[in-house]
Structure 1
Amino acid sequence: MSSNRMKERAKPSLGLRQYAGIVAGVLSLLACPDVQAQDADDTEDRVTLQVRPRTEWRDGYKRLRQPGEAGELLTMQRTRLTWHHGTEKWEVRLGFQDVRTFGDMAGNTPTYGALAATESWGAWKPNAKTRITVGRQRIAFDNERIVGAVNWSQYGRFLDGFRWDQTTALGTTTAALTWDAPAGLTRIMGYHVYTSDRHRLSFLYFDQKNSLDPTASVLTSGATWTGKAKNEAVSWVVEAYAQEQRNDQPTSFMGVAELHGAFGNLGKALVALDWLEGDARGRAFHPFLGTNHRHYGWMDHFYVGLPANGMADARIHWTKPFGKAAWKAHWDVRYHRFYSPSFDNLYANEVDAVVVFKPTDFVQASFGWSVMRATEAMYASQNRAALANAWQQWGWIAVNFSPSILL
């Protein structure tokens, strides 16, 4: 073998030694008393792990089933590793995740999953009332109807940008600026929340500018009011939002009214009505950055699987703990009755049910099933051929392992 080839092969080893030396030097520096003394009393390092496999049976999930279409059984897994470092003045979070379908090839390629950053941000807290965060971060407001993190999805949602939180005697104000360069989107958010003993009032300004298609730019603004009775057994939520588009469409509106009740051993119940305006001319309210799976049925036919031209959702929820208290088990049943925005047509009836077991603080198992009965009006709204047996269904089993380790 020639001496030149031997030198070429020796280079990687030399680089590895240099890299190891740099790492060792940094660790030695961090181990010095002077470095450790900085904010030592308030320093916290925490590592959070998550392994969340979910097996799903999809038969009309997200889009109405067509004649001849068969259901699909699949398992997807989200694996996350997050490190959080915090002091009195500073915080840093670095998280990575891998999402893949069982049966795919091992490794990380564009076809078979990839390791990607979820949260990667740094925050400065000059005082107890001010916080400035820069980087890829989770942003969610109120009930996540307008801006949500979509944590139910294996991928989740994180936004790149800046966020400033300021607390005063009148509440907490948030200003955020985020970018999505490939989609040409710039988002400007202003949010304020005031909380008293029995009431919570928040205001949101959300301007999404589209540089690739300026007519698709949308401005959303509104308020959410949450209150509870003196006995705390009854509470309510009222939300009202307006949305303006740049394409000369009239302003569209969204309204939500919820009434919650706690009935002791019988559990908790909720009756509610969601209304999102829409008409045949294309005028419609779109909660495009909301966690819509949480609100409009777990079958995901509205604002998740397909765009919706407005809708109304009359719903009832009932949840109740059961079994041994140590297991922290509960079940949750929800009934949705979907209408067109004008209430002229019934779209579908849907029932969602889930049983959740939590034997420890970091282990949770969920078993869910949803069924939907769609009408001809809903088939027409999705431009799908109607079936004689119009039942759609989605079943799933999920296990979530999420231990947190304090270093």
Structure 2
Amino acid sequence: MSSNRMKERAEPSLGLRQYAGIVAGVLSLLACPDVQAQDADDTEDRVTLQVRPRTEWRDGYKRLRQPGEAGELLTMQRTRLTWHHGTEKWEVRLGFQDVRTFGDMAGNTPTYGALAATESWGAWKPNAKTRITVGRQRIAFDNERIVGAVNWSQYGRFLDGFRWDQTTALGTTTAALTWDAPAGLTRIMGYHVYTSDRHRLSFLYFDQKNSLDPTASVLTSGATWTGKAKNEAVSWVVEAYAQEQRNDQPTSFMGVAELHGAFGNLGKALVALDWLEGDARGRAFHPFLGTNHRHYGWMDHFYVGLPANGMADARIHWTKPFGKAAWKAHWDVRYHRFYSPSFDNLYANEVDAVVVFKPTDFVQASFGWSVMRATEAMYASQNRAALANAWQQWGWIAVNFSPSILL
């Protein structure tokens, strides 16, 4: 079995019997008279199910293929069950997921399985402008470039801790404190967003402290500005962030500029440039908690498969609906041209394409293919032997069933 496949597996946790017990427990709780006795006008109970199998062909995915290495075909599935209970003042969410690769053990023994709690939190809303959330929760800001939930991954990302959201006339402010005890990480986040008719301005303070290796502690701060023209056909995004490390390295920077356009029947397009500073001495900006798959190519060669010592990404996106209205279908094509941070070396050209169908609100099918042409400079950056035919590819088919049931 390949190393890539091993990396995709979850740690053993609960088996099928425990999973059935949890489902029965949730349903029993919903049937309790004490729960049902609350005012129906103020109470909502909703169960959301998700079954998301995805088949992938990996041939140079995440890391450049080496001579003699063969591609790999595998299918993974994410299964989720989430219960959400909400009233005017309180909310509770309890969610579990099972992630496994087809062909693995059935997971029907106490010692094997991938079932784990994803979301398990409670929230108090003392008034319409204040919300305090405690527990394992999804935390994501802006476009998830710095802090993201990584929902594209079968596992996703959820953080354990506290979150306080406060809305005023000047916008919404968020303060969060989370822990990752096995990794020795404590994260302190402060976020504020102000929105007007045509502009959105946000600020982020993100301090990650590492108790196991204090020199690896990182402080990231910056801002994101999103705006649109009066006709709303043109919009833009500008981002600027700085990152300070505790190991006496100089401050590193990240900058992003995007220009979006809507062209009627021709669809929507954008041109953009991402720049993440880095040099040979190890000084580099690292978006370690971002949803990097979304931004730096779906082949996942930058900040997903391997750490990157900085990079620049000049990219073009084009998306357009097609077919019958009932299909709710669209295609999305993206071209990336990756450079070293100094623009001295071209790393690779990558093309990503996907076709999406959504015939109902709870069924979606996606078909995607990505190809990458790497240069010798990129092989050298990954310490890999260059191939005469340097094409890498990743193909995938995914179906997402996600019905929501109001109880």
TM-score when normalising by structure 2: 0.92
CA deviation profile, 1:109-164 (whole Å, cap 9, x unmatched) = 69854210000000000000000000000000001000000000000000000000
Equivalent-residue separation in structure 2 for 1:190 and 1:99 (angstroms): 32
| Shift in Å, 1:7 | 48
Distance 1:242 1:50, change over 3 A: same
Contact in 1 for aligned 2:15/2:107 (Cα 8 Å): no
Contact in 2 for aligned 1:108/1:115 (Cα 8 Å): no
Equivalent-residue separation in structure 2 for 1:225 and 1:8 (angstroms): 35
Q: Secondary structure at the match of 1:27?
A: helix
Contact in 2 for aligned 1:315/1:335 (Cα 8 Å): yes
CA deviation profile, 1:365-402 (whole Å, cap 9, x unmatched) = 00000000000000000000000000000000000000
Q: Secondary structure at the match of 1:215?
A: helix
CA deviation profile, 1:207-259 (whole Å, cap 9, x unmatched) = 00000000000000000000000000000000000000000000000000000
Equivalent-residue separation in structure 1 for 2:277 and 2:381 (angstroms): 15
Equivalent-residue separation in structure 2 for 1:178 and 1:399 (angstroms): 33
Q: Secondary structure at the match of 2:12?
A: helix
% identical equivalent positions: 100
Distance 1:109 1:350, change over 3 A: farther
Distance 1:113 1:59, change over 3 A: farther
Equivalent-residue separation in structure 2 for 1:224 and 1:242 (angstroms): 12
- Of the structure 1 ranges 100-109 and 187-196, higher mean CA displacement relative to structure 2 is found in 100-109
CA deviation profile, 1:293-313 (whole Å, cap 9, x unmatched) = 000000000000000000000
Contact in 2 for aligned 1:85/1:92 (Cα 8 Å): yes
Contact in 2 for aligned 1:108/1:114 (Cα 8 Å): no
| Shift in Å, 1:38 | 3.7
Distance 1:335 1:279, change over 3 A: same
Contact in 2 for aligned 1:100/1:112 (Cα 8 Å): no
Equivalent-residue separation in structure 2 for 1:42 and 1:335 (angstroms): 49
- Of the structure 1 ranges 109-118 and 249-258, higher mean CA displacement relative to structure 2 is found in 109-118
Distance 1:250 1:32, change over 3 A: closer
Distance 1:108 1:243, change over 3 A: farther
Distance 1:108 1:161, change over 3 A: farther
| Shift in Å, 1:326 | 1.1
CA deviation profile, 1:12-64 (whole Å, cap 9, x unmatched) = 99999999999999999987988645443110000000000000000000000
Equivalent-residue separation in structure 1 for 2:102 and 2:182 (angstroms): 29
Distance 1:14 1:60, change over 3 A: closer
- Give aligned pairs, total: 407
| Shift in Å, 1:68 | 0.2
Equivalent-residue separation in structure 2 for 1:272 and 1:153 (angstroms): 24
Contact in 2 for aligned 1:253/1:276 (Cα 8 Å): yes
Contact in 1 for aligned 2:227/2:237 (Cα 8 Å): yes
Equivalent-residue separation in structure 2 for 1:301 and 1:104 (angstroms): 27
Distance 1:22 1:58, change over 3 A: closer
Where does the alignment leave 5 or more consecutive residues of structure 2 unmatched? Answer: none
Contact in 1 for aligned 2:16/2:109 (Cα 8 Å): no
RMSD: 8.2
Contact in 1 for aligned 2:19/2:115 (Cα 8 Å): no
| Shift in Å, 1:108 | 5.4
Q: Secondary structure at the match of 1:380?
A: helix
